[in-house]
A and B are shown apart, each in its own frame.
Chain A
Amino acid sequence: MIKFFKYLFAISMLVACISDAQSLKPNQAVATITASATVEGNVDVIVMKDLEFEITSLSPTELIVDPQKNPFSGEIKIVGNPNSLVRVTNERESILRHENGQLQLYFRYILSGNTSEVQRESVLLTQNNEVRLSDRGAYYLWVGGQLSGLENIIPGNYGMELTIEVEYIL
């Protein structure tokens, strides 16, 4: 019986040593570093209003649509990531074609822009502009221009297309 308790004591000591060894750990230190990246979404260009104006027989030989003031200016909204910088590139001029193709007029674009939709407070833009979107991720463009060569104009509808490129500045 005494021997039995001897064995039992030896076993309990062994188990105690093992459990003690498992609970202890060598000196260890841990640190963390965060990797991060903000990914931008796509930038969208929305045509809010077309550029429309009327030429009458009383119009002078040259017509100017002031993008900062003229209510007939075209309006474009750029939507992207808040406060991001974008480059706006547009054609300098375009050809205004008569509906039957008989006559071409030359239209020189003038653009103005603003982070809020207040045309009168917009500023004139040059051909390649870097503008910053608002904290809501918007920027407004107004499209006007200068139409010349009205001396030989004939009645009818004229049309043209303006291409504007907007890209994030990397």
Chain B
Amino acid sequence: MTIFTHILQRWGILLLLSVCIAHPGIAQIINFGLYTTSNITLTPSGTMNFNDKQPVIASNSNSTVTIALSDNAPYIEIVGDATRDITITVTAPSYAIIGAGGPGNQIPFVCQFAYSNLGSTTASAAKVNAIQIPAGFTAITLPMLRRTSGAPAPPPTPAHGGYTPPSAKVYLFLYGSLGPVGNVNAGNYTGTINVTVNY
């Protein structure tokens, strides 16, 4: 009986170790986002229609149409907890396509984005101080409300019953270029840009 108990103890320790090895580090993650009660809301506005910039985009013209930040670029209003940081991930396709895409049915597409987290209340005001992210970057982390000067603020009030944290609005502007337009079929080319925001 003593030997049997001893074997069981060994096997039990081995089993425990194997579970820990199978999930390295997961048990050490403390995700404060799990405990937040505030939500993030995203409100898209506008579309990125390249015909608004150039009414006629002709096939085989080799032209590149660019919607700049200063143009009528679409934007997303991000409303969330003013005391927190957010991570914005922008996922865009490399081509705008018709049908299933492929040669003759796709046009190179580059998507860029800029953000403004200075507490502007309108998109036009936010665009003035928007910070453009260099092409190639797809994710950034930023505070919901950027501190312009002074000492760092005290730690945020922990969530508790009946407490609603102050909210802030971040503007995310999307712009980019389409082209060069090669020998492609006529039609309406589209690409979907996904924006994911989390604390």
Contacts and interface: CB of A to CB of B under 8 A. Distances in A.
Interface stretch (A19-27, A104-112, A118-126): A19-27
Nearest to B30: A21
A14 B15 CA distance: 12
A34 B192 contact: yes
The bracket for how many chain A residues form the interface is: 35 or more
Contacts of A18: 19, 23, 26-27
B199 A21 contact: no
A154 interface: no
Nearest to B38: A27
B49 interface: yes
A35 B8 contact: no
B168 interface: no
Contacts of B157: none
A26 B12 contact: no
Given A29-B198, A31-B195, A40-B186, A3 B27 contact: no
25 contacts: A3-B9, A4-B9, A7-B16, A8-B12, A14-B20, A14-B27, A18-B27, A27-B80, A27-B198, A27-B199, A28-B198, A29-B41, A32-B194, A32-B195, A33-B48, A33-B74, A33-B76, A34-B192, A35-B47, A35-B176, A36-B96, A37-B96, A40-B57, A40-B59, A81-B186
Nearest 5 CB-CB pairs, A to B? A26-B33, A7-B12, A41-B186, A37-B50, A31-B42
Given A32-B192, A32-B194, 14 more contacts: A4-B9, A4-B12, A14-B16, A15-B19, A26-B34, A29-B39, A31-B76, A31-B194, A35-B92, A35-B193, A36-B190, A37-B178, A81-B186, A169-B56
